[in-house]
Amino acid sequence: MLLAILSKLADGKFHSGEQLAQELNVSRARIWQAMGDLRILGLEIAAVTGRGYKIFEKLELLDLNRIMAALPESIQVKLPTPLIYLETTSTNSVLLEGLRKREVKSGTVCLAEFQSQGRGRLGRQWASPLGNIYCSMAWQFQHSAAGLMGLSLVMGLAVVAALKKSGARDMGLKWPNDIYHHGKKLGGILVEIAGDALGPCDVVIGVGINVLLPRNVIIDQAYTDLSQVLPQKISRNLLLSNLIASLYEYLTLFNQKGLSYFLPQWDEYDILHHQAVHIIEEHRTLSGVVVGVDAQGQLRVNVAGVEHVLTSARASVRLV
Ligand code: BTN
């Protein structure tokens, strides 16, 4: 029902409650209620007496056929059928659960228009209103979780490559894997391990990219979205094809070559390089200057002449 109404509103034109009720064969009260539900999902809907309902910006809904058609054939043939939801808790949680139940194969992608419990790093919430990118991919590695430290960094590079292919310029990465544009956060990545961290392990890589955030969204740091970064409006489906292809390619390469192969590329985008930072950990805050990343992908920070090495699991880094 919500999807049916959303598909009607997606054209950005006015639709009267009466006409919608007739077309969908439901009462006008039901339409009114559905508009409330869509607003809760983060959609900004104008209601004008005598004209009806309309969204502020045209919305391109997720379309599996378009996403698949734009993938390179070499990936199309290997990719398990993606899972697409109008609404789910978290695309990462869906895949983690599927892996636990052995229902999800390596390479499976999960997409959603909206997440009710979007998750970020360090137990934070990820605001997930309609109209942005929420994409996760499951991947099976033959080596143990210890070899996966650098994966977060490489996934950041994969996202930047997809954004560049979609026309974005001046992209930056903030260790371990935040996507930045001119000092503001454009997206983030959450890498989670399913199952046995000691043996061959399953991983879920979740990517959130802000495409067009509603004005009333609450985010506790400087942020931006693609509507401000790109000169023209982007097709979300095309961006997703670029993203899925890029994740797939970088995961395959990381499996074969490891982090060292990607480190020169990391240096190109690293916005923390030689910058003064505060490192916030659970029980302490350190201040120092970033030296770079080491061969394992850990952050090297010079604190009063002593080098500290930080793993991504616990630390949060703020530029001074
Ligand atoms: C961060 O910067 O803290 C990481 C954000 C990761 C958000 C994505 S959105 C798709 C996937 N599902 C989630 O619940 N989280 C990730």
Verify that 175 and 244 share a domain, yes or no: yes
The pLDDT value recorded for residue 24 is: 92
Please give the number of the atom of ligand 1 that sits closest to the Cα of 188: 2
CA pair distance 77, 181, nearest whole angstrom: 34
The pLDDT value recorded for residue 68 is: 96
The pLDDT value recorded for residue 41 is: 80
- Write the pLDDT tens digit of every residue in 79-98: 999 999 999 999 999 999 99
Verify that 229 and 210 share a domain, yes or no: yes
CA pair distance 52, 60, nearest whole angstrom: 20
Domain range for 37 is: 2-55
Verify that 35 and 104 share a domain, yes or no: no
Mean pLDDT over 163-192 rounds to 95
pLDDT of residue 145 exceeding 80: no
Verify that 41 and 77 share a domain, yes or no: no
The pLDDT value recorded for residue 128 is: 93
- Write the pLDDT tens digit of every residue in 10-63: 899 999 999 999 999 999 999 999 999 988 887 889 999 999 999 988 889 999
Separation of 205 CA from ligand 1 center, angstroms? 9
Mean pLDDT over 230-251 rounds to 95
pLDDT of residue 220 exceeding 90: no
Q: Which residue from 190, 224, 280 has its CB within 8 A of the most atoms of ligand 1, so it is best to mutate?
A: 190
The pLDDT value recorded for residue 302 is: 96
- Write the pLDDT tens digit of every residue in 65-79: 999 999 999 999 999
The pLDDT value recorded for residue 79 is: 96
Verify that 87 and 40 share a domain, yes or no: no
The pLDDT value recorded for residue 233 is: 87
Verify that 143 and 169 share a domain, yes or no: yes
Average pLDDT, the chain: 92
Q: How confident is the model at residue 240 (pLDDT cuts 50, 70, 90)?
A: very high
pLDDT of residue 313 exceeding 70: no
CA pair distance 239, 43, nearest whole angstrom: 20
The pLDDT value recorded for residue 19 is: 92
Separation of 232 CA from ligand 1 center, angstroms? 25
- Write the pLDDT tens digit of every residue in 114-137: 999 999 998 899 999 988 999 999
Number of domains observed in the structure of the chain = 3
CA pair distance 118, 175, nearest whole angstrom: 21
The pLDDT value recorded for residue 119 is: 97
Residue 155 sits in a domain whose CATH number is 3.30.930.10
Residue 21 sits in a domain whose CATH number is 1.10.10.10
Residue 284 sits in a domain whose CATH number is 2.30.30.100
Verify that 140 and 49 share a domain, yes or no: no
Q: How far apart are the first and last CA of the chain?
A: 48
Separation of 152 CA from ligand 1 center, angstroms? 12
Q: Which of 55, 78, 100 is where one domain is finished?
A: 55
Which SS3 state, helix, strand or coil, does residue 301 take?
Answer: strand
Mean pLDDT over 166-186 rounds to 95
pLDDT of residue 149 exceeding 80: no
Verify that 100 and 243 share a domain, yes or no: yes
| CA-closest residue to ligand 1 atom 3 | 120
Verify that 104 and 32 share a domain, yes or no: no
Verify that 201 and 97 share a domain, yes or no: yes
Percent of the chain predicted with pLDDT > 90: 73
How far CA 222 is from CA of 77, 152, 182, 187, in Å, comes to: 40, 22, 10, 11
Verify that 295 and 256 share a domain, yes or no: no
Separation of 301 CA from ligand 1 center, angstroms? 26
Q: Which residue from 134, 173, 209 has its CB within 8 A of the most atoms of ligand 1, so it is best to mutate?
A: 134
Verify that 229 and 110 share a domain, yes or no: yes
How far CA 307 is from CA of 22, 152, 267, 286, 289, in Å, comes to: 68, 22, 19, 12, 9
The pLDDT value recorded for residue 190 is: 96
